[in-house]
Amino acid sequence: MLSSGSSYTKTRISAHLSNAAPVEGEVTSVEGWLTYYCEEDKSWKPIKGKVSIYLDGIKIGEADANEYGIYSFKFIAPYAGKHKLEVKFPGSERFEGSYKLLEFQSLTKKAFLKISKMAKIVAVVVFLLILLSLLSVFLVKFFSI
């Protein structure tokens, strides 16, 4: 698809964080792919190129998209709080630029441990409820004979 008034081919960036709520100071990553729209095939195809990574508006690095359009970039999770991560493809003579914005929240170690403890409690409660329901089915079958 050509953008209106230009001869550049439309591009698209996908991006996801390996952890949507990383602990501050820990290594996390953003991964995704870079593609362009091929009018002839009516499909999205990979671009081998370079994307820039910005955290809260500050460039923190670059990543190379391979021949499949896949890129990956590791970074240190910032201080606890809400943040914006942007992946930008600047474009080229053939392709228009594009970007993807992700919002995430870094956690303190204390908050992470609290959430982990709650998740374990919920998992144990669910397990006990399943066990209780199986036991009740067994008892109904056993005493109905």
* Dist. CA 81–CA 51, nearest whole Å: 25
Mean pLDDT of the chain: 91
Closest CA to 72 of 92, 87, 57: 87
Give the confidence band of 145 by pLDDT, cuts at 50, 70, 90.
low
pLDDT digits (tens, 9 = 90+) for 33-89: 999 999 999 999 999 999 999 999 999 999 999 999 999 999 999 999 999 999 999
pTM above 0.85, yes or no: no
- List the Cα angle 87/47/75 in 5-degree steps: 30
